[in-house]
Structure 1
Amino acid sequence: MADRHTESHCHHQHPCHLPRKTGHRRAESGGQRPHSTRTLNLMAKSTIYAGLEIGTHKICVVVGEAKRDGAIKILGVGQAPSRGVRKGEIVDFEKVQTCVNDALVRAEDRSDVMIRNVFLGVTGAHIESLNNRGRHRLPDQTEIAEDDVEEAKEIARSVSIPQSNVFLHSVTRQYIVDGQEAVRQPIGREGRVLEADYHIIHGVRGRVQNAIRCVREIPLEVEDVVFNPVAAAQVVLTREAKMQGALMIDFGAGTCDYVLYEDGMITASGCVPLGGDHITNDVAMALQIPNGRAERLKVEEGSVLYEDVAEGEMLSIEDDTGLVLGEIERAFLFEVMNLRTKEILTQVRVRVEDHLGRLGAGIYLTGGVSMMKGVDAVAREVFGIKVTRAGSAPVSGITATFENPQYSAPIGLIRYAQILDSEKPFLSPLKRLGRRMQELLSSVTL
């Protein structure tokens, strides 16, 4: 990842992630996390990170260690069923905090690490994006200096967004020197006009604040706030896929998030506030059964390829006790699922329509709903290009279970943290941390 609206604030030392004492247990699942006064000295090159995704279906905490060669070792994963979240956004603080605590305790037990700071993944229909360029004319000299680059960046970042919104990401796409595009490192080049091309992601301040404050009250410190698909893309999309052009869709329970790359540059991103829960709701209404039973039916028997079902093939409908309530045609269930899936993916297509002709690597589907039978075929029908179902890239550690699509975002948060730390930002970690959190939590609008 590249530059942000404010300097990023990863810690090169992470006093927030401490090896736990042998035999130490925090709190039982569901209990309160005690305040710890214990401190340990870590080696300066400690690179342990924790990522937290508060999803509509599950809450997941991942602890990972970044190695010098760029590899990531997952030390522990803790998850809990999610309550108090709707369409990716927190609607009940107490329920969410209980679920986060459950996931946190499990992650700590499995990783043997006490977690104090997290990279927090967020989503929601309020999150929007745009591309903007900052144009800076060099005053005297013709060799581009660092100050010239910073000036172009500031101009690019000075874009008008709603007063109620806050910047989440300001990602450098490219520099343009005297009209020459795709310049990655302009410092030292000869030129008169320097432009900085940025992808800017922003969301409603109050909703971002809610997520931060909910986590802080646990208590955990938030090291950074990351738009979920930006994190997931770091482990789903290869450098080659980004260069060829790729659209990654993170199809979750409450939202369908996406991020699109062209020529290695992030070009579009956003969130459609529809997901797997809406498919479940449609099944429940169509069959007049409880949502819990509809979810199990969708997962265990469902498919979105209703054309392939034999005519007249029936499916028994049972209640929660196993009592048979009746039968329906299997094709009817599949058609209900197909229609909603197609609607959701079509909404993503409408938002990226202008870019589809430049996606040489095609579409990568990830997220829990991407595992639904036939969803890749429906995506091919909707978008008309190559579709790949993908989980996170292979990482070492206890990962055999977690290399599936539903863990792309939380594992991506670890990779995101690793990339930010490697950028050697200008400000010290404490100054960066203070500035970033002040920006996100301040009541003053930008």
Structure 2
Amino acid sequence: MPSDQIFVGLEIGTTKICVIVSEGRSDGTISILGVGETPSRGVRKGEIVDLTTVSECIHEALIDAEEKTNVEIRNVWVAISGSHLKSFNNRGAFMLPEERDVIIEEDLKTVETNAKEVSLPAQNIFLHTILQGYHVDGRRDVIDPISMECQTLEADFHIVHGIKTRIHNTLRCIESLKLGIEDVVLSSLASSQVAVTQHQKDLGALVIDIGGGTTDFLVYYNGSVRHSGVLPLGGDHITNDISIGLRLPMQRSELLKIQEGSAIDPGGADLGTITLKNDLGFLGCDISKTSLQIIIHQRVHEIFELVRKDIEGSHEGMIGMLRAGVMITGGSSRLRGIATVAEDVFELPAHLTRAKEVGGATQTFENPQFSTAIGLTKYAMAVSENIPEESVFEKLTKGIGGIFRRRSR
């Protein structure tokens, strides 16, 4: 098996660390060879707080993946999350010199550089510069302007940036294990590679990936990324609410959420009681199922409301233009009734989704908690030919970003 057709995605999540090994196929799809995972320690709300412990967890997940796939892992594609990641849209412009009226490759680099001529917070660096479309002398949405005659070339980009030290700490964790880092990818961008189809991106879709400690989201319109964001809220916060509201241990609250939980608003209905049996260190009790459901509904509703507020704060009216609706993935998307709450908040059709157009280990791609890690390998296959020779540290320091003058799909 050619090594250049093997792609490894690494997701360092709040609740789990996951390594996906995939093989690229000639038809542009991927086949999952195996997954390695381990419970996450040293990560809070998607960000590393204990480098040594996280490095140990990554090592465990890597060993697990290597043993299951018989592949020696030397390089990885890394997902990154955290509420420090911010984004905006900007346009770059370039007037061709008088002695030339045909667009060349160098002009595309120049217009991208010009789009990033903005003031970021002093501690931040560019992560992604995602092309939305070119404009040639006012003609919009040109796909490939090379060799076209033109006086003024413009291009729109979605630009993602974050705090340098937090991004670099993730990289140092990985490099301490003598691993090469191919690229760093926004988590929501990774999961959207497999969670939504190209047709849905063209129609307009909101992709929401709800994990343990964060909710990552991305808006597509006319096939391009228009907005992205990260909330420091996820499934763990629902569990914590249950623990506090019902006065239960965290482990029992998590189990209760999985087995009996629903995000649907019970209204005034009496849903009866749930009897919790005695367990080691826990005295059994009866709890109100209505109370449980109210607690879950309130937190899920809040998460979706915050996503909507974030999008509308930058793009008023955009949500109503997303004809494909809301696509929900991630480990916490398995919560019963979550799509119903999304439909109420966004006033759009909402669907649960997982990795699509993927072959191999069925149980892996059917589980939405692996969408980000699987998406990393799909992303890797799509852009690997455009990755430069320089290291990821050098690239981030220069602020080049993870996508190089191409429309992100």
TM score, norm. by length of structure 2: 0.92
What SS does the corresponding residue of 2:270 show, helix, strand or coil?
coil
Q: Which residue of structure 1 lines up, in the alignment, with residue 37 of structure 2?
A: 79
Q: Distance in 2 between matches of 1:312 and 1:48?
A: 50
Q: Which residue of structure 2 lines up, in the alignment, with residue 160 of structure 1?
A: 119
- Cα deviation 1:136-164 (Å, max 9, x = unaligned): 11222333222322221221132321121
What SS does the corresponding residue of 1:307 show, helix, strand or coil?
coil
Equivalent AA in structure 1 for residue 390 of structure 2:
G
Q: Which residue of structure 2 lines up, in the alignment, with residue 191 of structure 1?
A: 150
Q: Distance in 2 between matches of 1:332 and 1:144?
A: 63
Q: Which residue of structure 1 lines up, in the alignment, with residue 356 of structure 2?
A: 393
Matching residue within 105, 115, 120 for 2:78: 120
Change (3 A) 1:398 1:308: farther
Q: Which residue of structure 2 lines up, in the alignment, with residue 417 of structure 1?
A: 380
Q: Distance in 2 between matches of 1:299 and 1:258?
A: 23
Give runs of aligned pairs for residues 278-317 of structure 1, distance below 5 A.
Answer: 278-307=237-266, 311=270, 313-317=272-276
Q: Which residue of structure 2 lines up, in the alignment, with residue 265 of structure 1?
A: 224
The offset of 1:358, in angstroms, is 1.3
Q: In terms of mean alpha carbon deviation, does 408-417 or 70-79 score higher? A: 70-79
Q: Which residue of structure 2 lines up, in the alignment, with residue 383 of structure 1?
A: 346
In 2, are the aligned partners of 1:258 and 1:271 still within 8 Å (CA)?
Answer: yes
What SS does the corresponding residue of 2:363 show, helix, strand or coil?
coil
Q: Distance in 2 between matches of 1:122 and 1:387?
A: 25
- Cα deviation 1:359-416 (Å, max 9, x = unaligned): 0101100001111000000011111111011001141212334322111000000011
Q: Distance in 2 between matches of 1:244 and 1:222?
A: 34
In 1, are the aligned partners of 2:35 and 2:364 still within 8 Å (CA)?
Answer: no
Matching residue within 329, 333, 346 for 1:366: 329
Identity over aligned pairs, percent: 42
The offset of 1:286, in angstroms, is 0.7
Q: Which residue of structure 2 lines up, in the alignment, with residue 107 of structure 1?
A: 65
Q: Which residue of structure 2 lines up, in the alignment, with residue 356 of structure 1?
A: 319
The offset of 1:439, in angstroms, is 3.7
The offset of 1:94, in angstroms, is 2.3
The offset of 1:323, in angstroms, is 5.8
In 1, are the aligned partners of 2:101 and 2:149 still within 8 Å (CA)?
Answer: yes
Equivalent AA in structure 1 for residue 40 of structure 2:
S
Residue 297 (structure 2) pairs with residue 338 (structure 1): yes
Q: Which residue of structure 2 lines up, in the alignment, with residue 180 of structure 1?
A: 139
Matching residue within 238, 249, 253 for 2:212: 253
Q: In terms of mean alpha carbon deviation, does 229-238 or 301-310 score higher? A: 301-310
Q: CA RMSD of the aligned region, Å? A: 1.9
In 1, are the aligned partners of 2:204 and 2:322 still within 8 Å (CA)?
Answer: yes
Matching residue within 65, 73, 81 for 2:23: 65
Residue 392 (structure 2) pairs with residue 436 (structure 1): yes
The offset of 1:47, in angstroms, is 1.1
The offset of 1:268, in angstroms, is 0.4
The offset of 1:434, in angstroms, is 2.2
In 2, are the aligned partners of 1:223 and 1:433 still within 8 Å (CA)?
Answer: no
Equivalent AA in structure 1 for residue 15 of structure 2:
H
Matching residue within 16, 21, 46 for 2:4: 46
Q: In terms of mean alpha carbon deviation, does 224-233 or 180-189 score higher? A: 180-189
Structure 1 unaligned spans of 5+: 1-18, 20-42
Q: Distance in 2 between matches of 1:184 and 1:98?
A: 44
TM score, norm. by length of structure 1: 0.85
Q: Which residue of structure 2 lines up, in the alignment, with residue 239 of structure 1?
A: 198
Q: Distance in 2 between matches of 1:366 and 1:324?
A: 35
Structure 2 unaligned spans of 5+: 400-409
Matching residue within 91, 97, 106 for 2:55: 97
What SS does the corresponding residue of 2:167 show, helix, strand or coil?
helix
Q: Distance in 2 between matches of 1:440 and 1:115?
A: 23
The offset of 1:237, in angstroms, is 1.3
Q: Distance in 2 between matches of 1:267 and 1:200?
A: 10
